[in-house]
A = this chain, B = another copy of it.
Amino acid sequence: MSQENRHPLDDIFHPGSVAIVGASASGPPEAGWVARLLRFGYSGRIYPVNPRATEISGLKAYPSVRDIPDAVDFAIFNVPARLTPQVMQDCAAKRVKVVHIFTAGFSETGKEEAKRLEASVAAIARSGKVRVIGPNCMGIYYPAGGLTFNPTFAREPGKVAFVSQTGAGATRFVFLANDRGVHFSKVISYGNALDLDAPDFLDYLADDDETGIIGCYIEGVKDGRRFLSAVKKCLSSKPVIIMKAGLTESGAGAAASHTASLAGSVSVWDAFFKQTGVIRVESLEEMADVDLAWLRISCPKGRRVGIVGRGGGIGVIATDTCEHAGLKVPPFLPETRKQLEEIIPEAGATVRNPVETAQSVSSTADFYGRGLKIVAADPQIDFIITHIALDIYGGRQAAMREQLLKAAQALITTVPTLPKPLAVVLYAGEHLETVSAVFEARDQLLKAGIAVYPTIEAAARAVSQLIRYNEFSRRSG
């Protein structure tokens, strides 16, 4: 990339060198920023800065940023808040392009002294032309470039970006997504946004070829017009999912105290979601569910779902849940029911929709081979949700695991042959044996490119969001 075409934010994701100011010389080595980057495979130069150390994690340490002999593109501040003005001055002198202030204790405390400190750091950065992420945030996770704030995040890059005003929430979200087989292009936790703010990151991600879908956790927006404009730019080429926190009375107070944010009014945000077509989610779990749907499920042609799984009452509950999520569960055609009855040996298993597979987990695998084709062929339905509730198969025997894995294999063989999309629900209950078996089956299915959800509600809501987004895009475009 030539210097002229370089977006200022490219320095964040492609630094040739990183200084860790306040690199930790004590504590477990895996806990420090230096070790995180080393372990995660960052291939640029790393400069630990710590006046009381000569070496950290095998790298030479420097007393200050000014003492580093080479150029520094990116610096991470892990120093007490009161030291940040001095470190920022050092960075300005060293012409560091961008810094991430991990340190907290600024405007979010609500204290005048801390607000003044944040303003003075901002002024030094501005005059020194240093761009800033933070303070009070986790910074960058960019697996393709070996950057991370947690070395146990997936190394594999993907198409999902996440822009987050919460750091702990960003950590949670990456794990939730990784555990669904969802991988990331770029994740930015930006905290108090002293300089770079959500619109800057969104603007960058709109043009980012590595990013196919963008999620945001937002507590407050400083410049509504800029935010709206950046979101619209993204939407012209990719879906945007937003979780807006702090919209209750108590929540707004908590947001002010967390990131010094003004949470805004419910009606303004309602209008924002309605007008833009941004996918609105109520939790980070739901955001990960929608990402998974976008990655693994081709959007159904309509809202009519065929439900396949054991348990009559559980089927009734599943049906209510789908309808609450904005889907329909119409009865199958008589011809479909007749064909299903022929392959389900058990009396009492319903075939109306939901269809009950036979009683054991092993016969579930047998059913998938023939039954899913019959269900998928019914013109009354647009897509399928299969669910296995491992918890209800009584006993928590080891045999369950084997049979569940057999059922997963049957899905892996069958799903690609079906003419309609399918989401799998593996419900684990809250017992370690069933959870462990379900996670193993889940991981095999995800690896095969099949979307797996922990509950019917999660699957139904995610697919419904996908359908809604596509409907909106068709109408507006």
Contacts and interface: CB of A to CB of B under 8 A. Distances in A.
Interface of A: 30, 80-81, 103-106, 108-110, 136, 149-152, 164-172, 175-176, 179-180, 217, 219, 245-251, 253-255, 257-259, 283-284, 310-317, 319-320, 322-324, 328-331, 346-350, 352-354, 389, 391-392, 394-397, 429-432, 435-436, 439, 454
B254 A319 contact: yes
A346 B104 CA distance: 9
A316 B439 contact: no
Contacts of A104: 346-349
21 contacts: A81-B347, A81-B348, A104-B348, A105-B347, A105-B348, A152-B396, A166-B314, A168-B310, A168-B312, A168-B313, A169-B311, A172-B429, A175-B431, A248-B323, A250-B322, A251-B316, A254-B353, A254-B354, A257-B350, A283-B317, A432-B436
A57 to B, nearest CB: 16
Nearest to A399: B28
A125 to B, nearest CB: 19
Contacts of A397: 30
Nearest to A429: B175
Nearest to A247: B320
A254 B328 contact: no
Given A152-B395, A164-B313, A167-B313, 13 more contacts: A104-B348, A106-B348, A109-B348, A150-B394, A152-B396, A165-B313, A168-B392, A172-B429, A175-B391, A219-B313, A250-B323, A250-B330, A254-B353
Contacts of A167: 311-313
A452 to B, nearest CB: 10
Nearest to A283: B317
A115 B432 CA distance: 42
